[in-house]
Amino acid sequence: MLRKSWWKILCVILLTYTIVAGFLGAVPAKPILNETIRNLYFHVGMWFAMMVLFTVSGIYSVLYLRTGKPVHDIYALEYAKGGILFGCLGLVTGSIWARYTWGAFWSNDPKQLGAAIALLIYFAYLVLRNSMTDMDKRARIGAVYNIFAYAMLFPTIFIIPRMVDSLHPGGMGNPAMDTKDIDPRMELVFWPGAVPGWALLGVWITTLRIRVELLAEKKLSHA
């Protein structure tokens, strides 16, 4: 599966579509946002990709705890790193967007803070792993912590920011992707193009890293 081309070609097609339709397609004219509303296809795409990658990572951590196979730990680690990459890109692109719409790169907005905390929890996963020299311990404790880190994504990013006052769409109890925030013309680019496109790119980059790790492992065991 890692070496198959079809899903990589699909990724290229979907992202090309996202970029072209993203800028040439029609969007609603909203005050304050103006053309930046197109950032939906990129900034929000990053977060969806992150969620896919962290979900896969969590699943492999559970698998590792059940099987003890090192390959599952490698998958869990690399998918977590991929999630961290896309999460950081989401946070940075969100800050850039905020600078021109909210007036500042950082407003201590609940959503910004929640996302930052969620990522810090994942950074701690990397630090935790590196603090242990015993490989089995590292993988086992890492797996348990990874599952906790995944669970923490929900209160920090999805629950608390929506319960309190927030500049970010979704604050004060309103759903973030309702008809007020996204219109049908944009949904045609976002759901079939941006979401799977960025997610597949994240998976592609992650699987490349996994293949390199597996090669290194093989080399070590044959040395």
Where do contacts with other proteins occur on this chain (CB under 8 A)?
3, 8, 12, 15-16, 19-20, 23-24, 28-31, 34-35, 183, 204-205, 208, 211-212, 215
In sequence order, what are the residues at sequence separation of 6 or more whose Cβ sits closer than 8 angstroms to the Cβ of residue 171? 110, 111, 161, 162, 164, 165
Q: How far is the CB of 74 from other proteins (least distance, A)?
A: 15
Task: Give whichever of 135 and 208 is closer to other proteins, judged by the CB atom.
Answer: 208
Given the complex with other proteins, which of 29 and 127 has the nearer CB atom? 29
Query: Looking at beta carbons only, is 101 or 140 nearer to other proteins?
Result: 101
> Smallest distance, Å, CB 208 to other proteins?
6
| Smallest distance, other proteins to C-beta of residue 209, A | 10
Least Å distance, CB 202 to other proteins, is: 12
Q: Which of 23, 154 has the CB closer to other proteins?
A: 23
